[in-house]
Structure 1
Amino acid sequence: MYLKTLNLRQFRNYQDQQVEFNAAKTILVGNNAQGKSNLLEAVELLATLRSHRMTRDRDLVQEGEAIAQINATLERQTGVSDLTLTLRRNGRRSVALNGESIRRQMDFLGVLNAVQFSSLDLELVRGGPEGRRNWLDTLLIQLEPVYAHILQQYNHVLRQRNAFLKRHVETLDATSLHSELAVWDAQLATTGTRVIRRRDRAIQRLAPIATAWHASISGSTEVLQIKYLPNIPLEDNHPEEVQQAFLAKIQQRAIAEMHQGTTLVGPHRDEIELTINQTPARQYGSQGQQRTLVLALKLAELQLIEEVVKEPPLLLLDDVLAELDLSRQNQLLDAIQDRFQTLITTTHLGSFDSQWLKSSQILFVKAGEIIPN
């Protein structure tokens, strides 16, 4: 797939900016806080309808404006598509494909596929479980767009159940609360089982690819293992079995939930375990080991998405080369070649060899304006 054009209107610090991409690699050069990352964020939003930097749409709309719009022309093997995402300061976002409004946002997902790799991704190893869950969920949305709807359903039930627990934790006795909760328990187990099974399948597919990339980057001196550790005991991935285990664990934690007024069971408490040579990477991995691990994860994402959608996704590298030493930079650049259309942000061109610079489109970014080289 190839991103031909991108137009940003009142998005972040862009007033009205059109970009035409004319090479497999585009390098966006500029000082910090000029808008380089904002451009990559716009592409990420078209691919996943999520931003790893902001949770509220109003923060993406330019100050003093009511709406922001991202428009792109994408070329795929099946033809050319025109994508539009409209973000509102006060109100719901909307999406359109080839000029036609799309009611269900999950029908918009999967048109453009992209893998984002930024310096923030080092938190995948160092940070808490929530970051790793978000990473896996974002990948799953691209592998299986219906997952966005499944996750939304689960989070809706979770919020309702938590509100119920908070409301009634002190007003009902245990027996009465338990019977009232039965309805929410059933819904939580049903929607949560769908999340757990898909997460498990995704890790089963991703782990061997990431392990192979990691061995290649580390010169086979280290072994990466990725394990999905669901909050529900997962003997096998059969839906009835997972659902029964889910309900059984809810029963076990019922008293604790009543005391704390919150849901303690479900995929919102899952963990993805990353180990190097059987040692937790988060606790003992050096910075170099952690960077190798994240690089292996990102290359595995690229490969898995390509295998599933049958076309190479876009790669968005946000100021990441500065975080990698020369050896890891070369591993990454060799893996990309011209196979993936790549958008790269940097503060200076010194990180790139002359061959890369010759074959790349170079754009300068200053205060929300893009100037060709």
Structure 2
Amino acid sequence: MFVRHLSLKDFRSYESADLEFAAGVSTFVGLNGQGKTNVIEAIGYLASLSSHRVAQDAPLVRAGAGQAVVRGAVLRDGREQQIELEINPGRANRARLGKSPVTRPRDILGSLRTVLFAPEDLALVKGDPSERRRFLDDLLVARQPRWAGARADYDKILRQRNALLKHARTAPDRAAALATLPVWDTHLAAVGANLVYARLRLLRDLQPYLELAYDEVSAGQSRARITYKSSLYDELAEQLAAGEVPEVAELEAGFAKSFEQQHRAEVDRGQTLVGPHRDELVLRLGTLPAKGYASHGESWSFALGLRIAAFQLLRHDVGTDPVLVLDDVFAELDAGRRRRLALMVADCEQVLITAAVDDDVPETLAGNHFAVTLGQVRPI
């Protein structure tokens, strides 16, 4: 799988752009603020409907424009597919596959898969739990796009349940205000149990790839592992932390028991304290948690190992390479890690690299080069 063509209209700093790519390595070289990351951000948005830089769509639209349009031509197994996304801040986005509009933008997920590593990924190791949850859930959707719908359903049910709990906290008749809580408990348990089950299976499958990737990046300095820290009741949480993957029915029953245990605390605080949105991924190097104990170099290696492991998992499961994107990464790595990373990605079908200067990129990753200056991209 690789992106053959990218067209931008009013996306970020680009009033318009039409770019041709090929398989192999393509490097975008330009000083900071010239627009090179905007190009790979657009490709990532086509793949995931989200940006690795911002949470909202408004910054993606060029100042003064009402909407942005991103189009891509993706070649897979000799067949080309056109993907188009219309980004409308404050309104519903629209999407097309080929010449046909799709019902929902998320229906395009899976048409293009990318794995992106950027300086912001250091937050996977050093940042808040939400960073690690997003990594896992984004990989879950990249692997099986149907989980995008389950995530949306869970978020919607969670908002409704939280609104009810918040209202009940100050309601004159608390019992009456909580009359429909068991209904929301049932809905959240059903969707939440499926999400937790999918996460656990994904972690089980990802672990061997992570160990190998970290070993290669760090030259075998330690063993990288991930454990799942659940918000469910203690006994079940211990099983999940040990790597067990219970059936969905057992997890659903665990939600019910946990809701019962946390009932008073949830009502007092006006929020849901149990579920995937409260869970955590604990990254470990050897026996110690990476957060707080890993050096800066080890943290970079762990973050990079997570992305390379995700790439290898998708390569194995999907049967084709996702597009690998390395955004200003080599400048952050020492010479040894640069060299080892270059060797690891040399056989990928398409690698897109951004760099401030050519010298940041190892010579072994020779390929197509583009100069990016003030929102203009030209081959060199």
Which TM class, normalised by the smaller chain length?
over 0.9
How far has the Cα of 1:21 moved from its partner?
0.8
CA distance in 2: counterparts of 1:224 and 1:202, whole angstroms: 16
Q: 1:360 aligns with which of 340, 343, 367?
A: 367
How far has the Cα of 1:120 moved from its partner?
0.4
2:84 and 2:97 in contact (8 A); partners too: yes
Q: Where does 1:1-373 land on structure 2 (aligned, <5 Å)? A: 1-77=1-77, 79-232=79-232, 233-234=236-237, 235=239, 236-356=245-365, 359-373=366-380
1:66 and 1:90 in contact (8 A); partners too: no
Change (3 A) 1:87 1:103: same
How far has the Cα of 1:216 moved from its partner?
2.7
- Letter matched to residue 130 of structure 1: S
Matched position secondary structure for 1:253 = helix
Change (3 A) 1:100 1:208: same
CA distance in 1: counterparts of 2:110 and 2:35, whole angstroms: 26
Flag as ranges the 4+ runs of structure 1 deviating above 6 A: none
1:29 and 1:346 in contact (8 A); partners too: yes
CA distance in 2: counterparts of 1:6 and 1:162, whole angstroms: 41
TM-score by length of 2: 0.94
User: What whole-Å deviation, never above 9, does each CA across 1:83-110 have from its counterpart, x for those lacking one?
Assistant: 1011013311011111110113332111
- Letter matched to residue 300 of structure 1: A
CA distance in 2: counterparts of 1:18 and 1:310, whole angstroms: 29
Change (3 A) 1:355 1:190: closer
CA distance in 2: counterparts of 1:107 and 1:370, whole angstroms: 30
Q: Which runs of 5+ in 2 are unaligned?
A: 240-244
Choose 300-309 or 179-188, whichever is displaced more.
179-188
CA distance in 2: counterparts of 1:278 and 1:79, whole angstroms: 47
RMSD (Å) for aligned C-alpha atoms: 1.4
Aligned length: 371
- Letter matched to residue 128 of structure 2: G
Matched position secondary structure for 2:378 = strand
CA distance in 1: counterparts of 2:3 and 2:347, whole angstroms: 14
2:342 and 2:362 in contact (8 A); partners too: no
Q: Which runs of 5+ in 1 are unaligned?
A: none
- Letter matched to residue 360 of structure 1: G
Instruction: Indicate the percent of aligned positions where both proteins have the same amino acid.
Output: 33
How far has the Cα of 1:36 moved from its partner?
1.1
Choose 180-189 or 51-60, whichever is displaced more.
51-60
- Letter matched to residue 24 of structure 1: G
Change (3 A) 1:282 1:24: same
CA distance in 1: counterparts of 2:203 and 2:24, whole angstroms: 30
- Letter matched to residue 208 of structure 2: P
How far has the Cα of 1:23 moved from its partner?
4.8
CA distance in 2: counterparts of 1:167 and 1:249, whole angstroms: 21
How far has the Cα of 1:220 moved from its partner?
2.6
Choose 87-96 or 139-148, whichever is displaced more.
87-96
- Letter matched to residue 358 of structure 2: L
